[in-house]
Structure 1
Amino acid sequence: MLAASSATAQQATEPAASTEPSYICTSVTATTVKTFLAEIQEAAASGVDIIELRLDFLTDFDPEQHLETILKACPLPYIVTYRPVWEGGKYEGPEPERLAVLKMAALLGAPYVDVEFKASPYFFADPHEVPLSTKVILSYHDFKQTPDAAVLNKLATAMRQAGADIVKLAAMANDIGDAARMLDLLRNKDGPMIALSMGERGQIVRLLAAKYGGHLTFAAMSPERASAPGQPDIGRLAGLFNYRKQTAATKVFGIIGNPVTQSKSPLIHNTAFQHIGFDGVYVPLLVDDLDRFLAAFADYDDFAGFSVTIPHKEAALRAAKDVDPVAAQIGAVNTLIRQADGSFKGYNTDWEAAIAAIERGLAGVPGGAAAAAAAAAAAKKGGGAAAASPLKGKTVVVIGAGGAGRALAFGAAARGARVLIANRSRDRADALAAALAAQYGAAAAAAVSYEDLAGGRVAGDVLANSTSVGMAPNTEESPVPAAVAGQFKVVFDAVYNPLWTRLLLDARAGGATPVDGLQMFVGQALEQFRLFTGAEPPAELMERTVEESMGVKK
């Protein structure tokens, strides 16, 4: 049996709740005692509040020899976890010995010990063995699914009754609606609680735990060292998502899409929010079904607005109770703003941003979206008639008939261009051409076969790709052969990650003027920022932030 001396008890204590209502914790998972001790120091210097000591990862751990040394080495409050394989951990030994190590850690002064709910009857068999100074976290993990709300609430109550100082529930999110149930736990908690959703679809629970009163959330020291699916890294959680400054009053915004991992929207909007002192946070929302997502979060009035990207822009139009006339005409919505009655109004900020970028390409005007926004503001202030669009009388070939394709097509037609639509599904191209013809006349639009375009048999002045072909990680893909890209005067690609897509590289090599999707992305984000906050966007900062993140040199 291990022996403990009160003189060696660790002096670290729980962080003061009055200064930090929700904490950031990272896990030490090195496999040897030597590297474990080094990783403790690395974790302590990473900016976290609490360190989880995952003793079950150690392959050379001798409790008699190493436990006290490990605890003494930790300069921050810490959680001692010795997770068995039956609860997703690494420990495969006898249960009595495992629980004895956790009790000894408590006697040595551990601020927290994590005990699996299933093991709680044995751990608490003699309650006098655990000092009151140690907070016992009773934990439950479901690595396959998220139980329904009734089961989660029953578990939380049973864990509290079993003796938990802090209840911890972690479950796999197979749909973002599962995350709503975990946030509901935090909203309705009756004591300290840690609620976590595993997987990318549940990441918002980790990012928003502070707002909803979670005792702590877990973050990795770096993206590649995440100890659980969907776990953010410390720098992004504390910095980009402003975790420690979130309050119940913080408004939530986000990017709805699938995929969303590659999106720069959280970067551009959170940077701008913090710059102007706006109390909001913008999160990635991996959504499979838009209606299901909106229903799951229907009573979350603090979810104030969303950007909408592939493949949900047309579904967003249907979901909006009220729709801006331009968005209704286009037939696609890329922005949803919650109204006072809880419903959403839909807008489309894509079309003007994309068309302005193409017009600058045709006119040979340098500068990005920020410069264009400044020029537009100056022109509006100065008054006078607007100059004719360089698109007037031109032929624009649009690849794709989805939400972004519709925005490009209607925008080009509104500027006086003739629009040809190529889509792999011909019936969608026909439907879009018919909608344009009904609005702007029979000569304004026509559908062409994708095969004819790829074969170089479709002529035009501008080629505009609205699809996700060429988006990271599939960076060598292009919607058309290289020879076709060079046949146009200007080639626009809505994809902005990577900045130089295969399509744009081929266009430049063929002598066309390439126009990158970053200009559209920044331009539409500027207008979204106005809708989200009611304030003027810091355009140059937003553009520079995204450019720097992508290594763009001006």
Structure 2
Amino acid sequence: MQFSVEREREKEMEGGVCALVGGRSLEEMKGAIGEAAEQGAHLVELCLDTIAPPFDTTQHLSSLLHLCPVPAIVSFRPRWAGGLYDRDEDERLRTLLLAAELGYPFVDIEFESASDFLVRLDRQRCKNCKIIISYYNGSESLNSDRLQDLMAELKELGGDIIKFISVAQRITDVAPMFQLLSLSNVPSICVATGERGQICQLLSRKYGGLYIVGSLDSSEGLVPCQPTLSRLIKTFQIARINERTEVFGLISCPVNHSIGPVIHNAAFSEINYNGVYIPFLVDDLAEFFKVYNGFNFSGFSVGIPYKVDALKFCDEIDISAQAIGAVNTIIRRKCDGKLIGYNTDSEAAISAIEDCLAEHQNTKTNVLQDKLLVLIGSGGAGKAIAFGAKQRGARIVVTDSCYERAEELADAVGGEALMLDLLDDYGPESGMILANACPVGMYPHMDGSPIDKKALKNYVLVFDAIYNPPVTKLMREATECRAAVVGGIEMFVRQATAQFELFTGQHAPEKQMRQLINSSLHNKQH
């Protein structure tokens, strides 16, 4: 039998979001179906293996079919295929055959059982049911050659739709799946499990995947680390993605703490720009750029710990980023495909400090000239602050948990290095500025501060680059010591809007972005 899906049936799935639905009882399953429909699922996969016995096959299947407000896929996975069913195999196949006979639009059968199932399936009687043949590998990633071989084997079996599920041990393991979707001449679905595989679900629509898999909050364990249905629809606005969508994202490790996807995707929508911004959880920067360079992703934000290392993967570097020695933004130039590195952190941080200091001191010009700025941290953000402050004429003292790094940065900006354990007693003059660019006090470890409260009396202004939480312990204690305070949110807003304009070539909707940043961080704390 040839692979063919009637157009009207295929349209029920094409580009949609499929919610995985499970439950220990029929009532739980029904509740999950309702939740999926409310959240905007285009179809549901009824995972029958999650229902605890006894299971009244005919009654339960009929009841669920009539209840579903959207097209339903029936699956009944055994343990060897990543499911929970561990009883009689013949009973499992009879259940799936009955689902086809009852009129379910889709039945999912495992590759290993497909021959037996299809021999027993009455095609004439079940002509309205499309068969998904799925291959599951929960222990290893599938390379391009293996995927092509499996594709040929699955096609030979004679189902209607092909589905691959495998673990992604590295983010680069997803690339062969995108290539398979792009080249496939049959309706195909790819799902990569694990945190590093989430980009498969986020970008499958761009590369031709028939539908995208998401989980309900109540069913996240069905496939490990799947993005939730609400996140797919609301944050990533999956329905907007097509083959022409430009891909941007944050390269970082870790990455899921970032609110960047919320901000940038909403901003894309606000100006009607066909782009999507996703998290790239990258363990090996060189491997990432080697594997994905041919995919022509349009741009990247660069986060911890790659702001310095990312320089070597840029074809050209903006003069400011070159001086700083760190990039937080990379753009693929459209005319020649070259990667151009920028740094929007520096101006964002320094302008935030200047504006706060100008307001505090009721002055407008040269507010940093000859001021003593004490910097904690010499990573990418610290370098951006140090070089920006140097350009404004500030005197700079650098401290870091690694004194050698502090010395290196201090030498680069003509400043001084300070041992970290001397920071609490450092106070050669009053009216100093403190800038924190280290992660002490960041969510979820919010009880820490990089400096003793008593030492804050020497500072007229305290800046904390941390934006989550919006108000850190350092900021609270600085306020109590009557210092002017500016937090990482202000830096984040300014660098994000500058980054967005580099991404799109258009003005950023700053007001909306600022509102989203504030509300997103507030929600994270509750």
Which residue number corresponds to residue 502 of structure 2? 531
Say whether the 8 Å CA contact 1:194–1:216 is kept in structure 2.
yes
- DSSP 3-state at the match of 2:269: helix
Partner SS state of residue 308, structure 2: helix
Within 1, Cα distance between the matches of 2:131 and 2:13? 20
Is the aligned partner of 1:449 residue 2:386?
A: no
Residue 152 (structure 2) pairs with residue 157 (structure 1): yes
Query: Secondary structure of the residue that 2:231 maps to in structure 1?
Result: helix
* Residue matched to 1:52: 45
Match of 1:6? Answer: none
Output one character per residue of 1:322-370: Cα deviation in whole Å (capped at 9) or x when no partner: 000010000000000112333310000000000011112222269xxxx
Q: Quick one: structure 1 residues 150 and 309, their matched pair in 2 at CA, closer, same or farther if it must change by over 3 Å?
A: same
Distance 1:361 1:479 in 2: 21
Aligned to 2:72: 78
Counterpart for residue 467 of structure 2:
496
Quote the offset at 1:454 in angstroms: 4.1
Deviation of the 1:457 alpha carbon: 6.0
The yes-or-no answer on 1:346 pairing with 2:341 is yes
The residue type paired with residue 222 of structure 1 is: D
Report the counterpart of residue 34 of structure 1 in structure 2: 27
Residue 222 (structure 1) shift = 3.2
Provide the aligned C-alpha RMSD in A.
2.2
Letter in 1 for 2:370: G
Letter in 1 for 2:324: I
- Show structure 2 runs of 5+ residues with no match: 1-5
Q: TM-score, normalised by structure 1?
A: 0.88
Whole-Å Cα distance in 2 between the matches of residues 417 and 58 of structure 1?
66
* Pairs within 5 Å for 1:236-385: 236-301=231-296, 303-339=297-333, 340-364=335-359
**1:236 positional shift:** 2.4
Answering whether residue 100 of structure 2 is matched by residue 106 of structure 1, we say yes
| Contact 2:427-2:458 at 8 Å conserved across structures | no
Residue identity opposite 1:465 in structure 2: N
Higher mean C-alpha deviation, range 138-147 or range 514-523: 138-147
Contact kept, 8 Å, 2:72 with 2:106, in 1: the verdict is: yes
Q: Please say which of residues 75-84 and 57-66 is displaced more in the overlay.
A: 57-66
Which of 225, 228, 234 is 2:229 aligned to?
234
The answer (yes or no) to whether the contact 1:486–1:506 under 8 Å persists in 2 is no
Q: What CA distance in whole angstroms lies between the structure 1 residues aligned with 2:219 and 2:502?
A: 35
Provide the rounded CA distance (Å) in 1 between the counterparts of 2:368 and 2:360.
14
Contact 1:486 1:509 in 2 (8 A): no
| 1:92 matches 2:86 | yes
Aligned residue for 1:517?
A: 488
Residue 456 of structure 1 and its aligned partner are, at CA, apart by: 4.6
Tell whether the 8 Å contact from 1:140 to 1:169 is kept in structure 2 after alignment. yes
Q: Could you tell me which residue of structure 1 aligns to residue 398 of structure 2?
A: 421
2:407 to 410, 427, 430: 430
1:24 to 13, 17, 31: 17
More off after superposition, 542-551 vs 329-338: 542-551
Change (3 A) 1:426 1:224: farther
Distance 1:105 1:247 in 2: 33
Deviation at 1:14, TM superposition (A): 8.8
Q: Percent identity between the aligned chains?
A: 40
The equivalent of 2:120 in structure 1 is 126
Residues 170 and 197 in structure 1, CA contact (< 8 A), matched pair in contact too = yes
Task: State whether residues 377 and 436 of structure 2, in contact with CA within 8 Å, keep that contact through their aligned partners in structure 1.
Answer: yes
Match of 2:57 in 1: 63
| Deviation, structure 1 residue 512 | 2.0
Q: Work out which of the residue numbers 388, 400, 403 in structure 1 matches 2:377.
A: 400
State which of 428, 445, 451 in structure 2 corresponds to 1:480: 451
- What's the secondary structure of 1:492's corresponding residue? strand
Distance verdict in 2 for CA 1:99–1:507, change over 3 Å: same
Q: Deviations over 1:58-114 (max 9, x none)?
A: 113221442222222222110101111111111111111101100110000111111
Structure 1 residue matching 2:485: 3-state secondary structure: strand
**CA apart distance, 1:142:** 2.1
Residue 229 of structure 1 and its aligned partner are, at CA, apart by 2.5
Q: Is the 8 A contact 1:204 1:284 kept in 2?
A: yes
Cα distance in 2 for residues equivalent to 1:456 and 1:172: 51
Alpha-carbon displacement from aligned partner over 1:361-387 (angstroms, at most 9, x marks no partner): 222269xxxxxxxxxxxxxxxxxxx95
Measure how far apart 1:165 and its partner are. 1.3
Deviation at residue 391 of structure 1 after TM alignment? 1.0
Query: How far did 1:509 drift?
Result: 2.4
The yes-or-no answer on 1:188 pairing with 2:158 is no
Structure 1: how far apart are the matches of 2:477 and 2:170?
Answer: 38
Q: Which residue of 2 aligns with 1:461?
A: 432
| Distance across 2 between alignment mates of 1:53 and 1:542 | 38
Q: Return 144-153 or 400-409, whichever deviates more.
A: 144-153
Distance 2:428 2:520 in 1: 37
Cα-to-partner distance string for 1:144-178 (whole Å, 9 max, x where unaligned): 33122111221122112112311111121121111
TM-score (norm 2): 0.93
Question: 1:398/1:253 Cα in 2 relative to 1: closer, same or farther (>3 Å)?
Answer: same
Q: 1:507 to 1:451 in 2, by over 3 A?
A: same
Query: What amino acid is the match of 1:212?
Result: Y
Q: 2:503 and 2:248 mapped to 1: Cα distance?
A: 8
Once residues 336 and 159 of structure 2 are traced to their aligned partners in structure 1, the CA distance between those partners, rounded to angstroms, is 40
Kindly state the Cα deviation for residue 194 of structure 1 after the two structures are TM-superposed: 0.7
SS at match of 1:313: coil
Residue ranges of structure 1 left out of the alignment (5+ in a row): 1-12, 367-385, 438-444
* Aligned counterpart in structure 1 of residue 194 of structure 2, from 193, 199, 202: 199
What SS does the aligned partner of 1:551 have? helix
2:3 maps to which residue?
none
Which 10-residue stretch deviates more, 355-364 or 328-337? 355-364
1:542 and 2:519 correspond:
no
Check the 8 A contact 1:298/1:342 in 2, yes or no.
no
Contact 1:313–1:403 (Cα < 8 Å) also in 2: yes
1:369 is matched with which residue?
A: none
CA distance 1:54–1:486, shift in 2 (3 Å) = farther
- Residue 449 of structure 1, CA deviation: 0.7
Cα deviation for residue 482 of structure 1 reads 2.9
Q: Distance between the aligned counterparts of 1:107 and 1:292, measured in 2?
A: 48
C-alpha contact (below 8 Å) 2:251/2:302 kept by paired residues: yes
TM-superposition CA deviations, 1:204-231 (whole Å, max 9, x none): 1111111111111112233874632332
CA contact (8 A) 1:20 1:244 kept: no
Q: Does 1:388 align with 2:358?
A: no
